[in-house]
Structure 1
């Protein structure tokens, strides 16, 4: 097989896996949420709880990923996760029991971590070993495609199928994605050298850098999760926007699909931290526009900004992890995602509680924007820490 074709297949496997574990198993819940509330009697508090449980599964998967070094075991768990993604999706359409839904959402979270962390780590390791660019923009486009695809699917299916039928159709679509996700990803190579013979060496950052980085990523997690989980319900309840929530979610996916490639180019020219700061500022604007300005234009512009930045930040952070730890990228990816995942448990539960007490999701939106602002300040501080650490390394070398 030619190198170009093999690279195409590896990237294709990654894209299909992300569409499966995130677009189908995880994010289909967001556009289907209003339908489940109307047709299956799902309450506001229960909706937030299910989202929190989903992120709890993702956090558990991130913890597992952070503890595993063996590439062969990572590959095996990745493949198991792909199958669990389909099973958890089908389970949502087979019952109205909230406890069973909770189990399904937890398993879906585990499978998301398998695709997002283990799969991404395996692909990044393959790219580095084969002397390709370690940017993951093409790979992460699968997230945006998954979000846009599931939103479009719900819009197309809703006139013909109820919430139950749509979950089962999503499971069938997931089965189609499973084949390339498994078949096109080659078995991992555990050797410590690239194909050109260069040794792979980890270059970990300092402790203070890591602590601040994880804290900033926690803030980004809160900023992301509120809109990602509740945007359809938020928009549907805004004056004059009833029924447009699914279209706004589609706009998020449209913004996210090319975003990682764009942010790769920006980071190459400005540096990864500067790119993260810019993305965070734009994401704050995207979060606030629908509720602070109002109207369909603000909602769609906000959705494009949000979709174009949140996944860009994830891509930049995980790519940085791979550069710091080329021999074991999933370990740092897992640690960073523990921070991001903890925020994703707290955010939906707290937003659901605020919605019960205030009668709307607006307070949760402002909470998300405030946390993003704190994270942006931490990223600015991180720039100074990075310069200090670099100066210390130069002094040691001298």
Structure 2
């Protein structure tokens, strides 16, 4: 295999394109398509919701199989193939053949997203200068934020042309981004063979990372799913105001990855993680307890920054715990991704059940999400107490 190394900026752009295609568009572009799918009578309302879960299920499988796929084909070829697969899935979804057909392609797009999440950063970051890896990691995961923003801006514009044309347009965009990224992956970015003890965490602080990442997943779900409905119906502000505030959420999602990554470079990963949790907790409290637009707008911006912003910080913490062992880092990041995806999916179903059981009590769901974030913040002290006199560096 050739040992071609692209320019670092091209490598970062490749990572950004991958996260935008595999997660930003493949997952978040579906949300504004839900009403259109129902109104066009492609599927029944309950089937549309069921099809939305297919991407999350596929994402779990992708997180499991990302590293074995990279060992079989190389990370570079796997990432190229997964981006192409998402584009094909978009084109396939332009044809409402059946529920099974649609489920299969939504599952495939989720699987590709899981593989991309596990492999993209590990394929790029080893070839970048260490002093700015937090910022570079944030730039790679900027695609998540761009996808959230596109779900509230680009997709509605495409829908004005037509539902089938929207799916085709998303496929064309995915193909274009795939072409831009194609030669940006380092061709020697093959993950090294895993050591025999690959699955055993070699740092005590890694357990804390997993616990906090799971709690973050539980904490961010209610705002991600129910924010628009809360503004439109809960506050009775209407769909126009709800759409505007979803754009604010999207702007926060764009700012989050790069801001959190740069903050990690400046004050350290552990401190930036704590600061992110504190900011998120305060913003959720404002959302749950206040209805003034002057406070809700900045709170929603901060809330939007969290889901994509915490990804580069958590990745950095995983790599810090296992410094010098890229194979162990890849295995640990894969586990972290699986844990996050699992708890996010379980939380989504649990919140949906609570929402129905409480006749649409948005504030209760926000409070539960805030409690999960609070537990994540408190978990460092609890972790120290549970492990006794743990060395300080294990917690950093």
- Please report the TM-score for the alignment, with normalisation by the length of structure 2: 0.82
Question: Does the 8 Å CA contact 1:212/1:382 hold for their aligned counterparts?
Answer: yes
State the shift of 1:133 in Å.
Answer: 3.5
Query: What CA RMSD, in Å, does the superposition of the two structures yield over aligned residues?
Result: 3.3
| SS of residue in 1 equivalent to 2:95 | coil
Question: Does the 8 Å CA contact 1:23/1:146 hold for their aligned counterparts?
Answer: yes
Summarize deviations over 1:270-309 as a string: whole Å, max 9, x none: 3312211221222234445445423554543232111222
Structure 2 distance, partners of 1:56, 1:146, is 19
- Residue 356, structure 1, aligned to residue 363, structure 2: no
> Residues 140-289 of structure 1 correspond to what in structure 2 (within 5 A)?
140-158=141-159, 160-189=160-189, 206=202, 208-238=204-234, 239-289=236-286
Question: Does the 8 Å CA contact 1:30/1:229 hold for their aligned counterparts?
Answer: no
| SS of residue in 2 equivalent to 1:388 | coil
User: How many equivalent residue pairs?
Assistant: 378
Question: Does the 8 Å CA contact 2:286/2:295 hold for their aligned counterparts?
Answer: yes
Cα pair distance change 1:191/1:225, threshold 3 Å: closer
The 10-residue stretch of structure 1 (149-158 or 65-74) with the greater mean CA deviation from structure 2 = 65-74
The 10-residue stretch of structure 1 (175-184 or 331-340) with the greater mean CA deviation from structure 2 = 175-184
Residue 196 of structure 1 corresponds to which residue in structure 2?
Answer: none
Q: Structure 2: where are the runs of 5+ without partners? A: 193-197
Cα pair distance change 1:89/1:309, threshold 3 Å: same
State the shift of 1:138 in Å.
Answer: 2.0
- Residue 26, structure 1, aligned to residue 54, structure 2: no
Structure 1 distance, partners of 2:278, 2:146, is 24
State the shift of 1:234 in Å.
Answer: 3.9
Cα pair distance change 1:308/1:117, threshold 3 Å: same
State the shift of 1:94 in Å.
Answer: 1.9
Structure 2 distance, partners of 1:392, 1:116, is 25
Cα pair distance change 1:381/1:69, threshold 3 Å: farther
| SS of residue in 1 equivalent to 2:239 | coil
Structure 1 distance, partners of 2:35, 2:361, is 14
Structure 2 distance, partners of 1:337, 1:270, is 25
> Residues 293-332 of structure 1 correspond to what in structure 2 (within 5 A)?
293-294=290-291, 296-323=293-320, 324-325=322-323, 326-328=325-327, 329-332=329-332
Residue 132 of structure 2 corresponds to which residue in structure 1?
Answer: 133
Structure 2 distance, partners of 1:70, 1:299, is 47
Structure 1 distance, partners of 2:389, 2:123, is 30
Summarize deviations over 1:345-368 as a string: whole Å, max 9, x none: 112222222233333261433332
The 10-residue stretch of structure 1 (320-329 or 21-30) with the greater mean CA deviation from structure 2 = 320-329
Structure 2 distance, partners of 1:392, 1:344, is 26
Q: 1:388 aligns with which of 376, 387, 390?
A: 390
Residue 195 of structure 2 corresponds to which residue in structure 1?
Answer: none
The 10-residue stretch of structure 1 (110-119 or 384-393) with the greater mean CA deviation from structure 2 = 384-393
Q: Structure 1: where are the runs of 5+ without partners? A: 193-201, 394-398
State the shift of 1:190 in Å.
Answer: 5.5
Structure 2 distance, partners of 1:21, 1:275, is 26
Question: Does the 8 Å CA contact 1:78/1:115 hold for their aligned counterparts?
Answer: yes
> Residues 330-341 of structure 1 correspond to what in structure 2 (within 5 A)?
330-341=330-341
Question: Does the 8 Å CA contact 1:93/1:168 hold for their aligned counterparts?
Answer: yes
- Please report the TM-score for the alignment, with normalisation by the length of structure 1: 0.82
Structure 1 distance, partners of 2:114, 2:50, is 19
Question: Does the 8 Å CA contact 1:48/1:349 hold for their aligned counterparts?
Answer: no
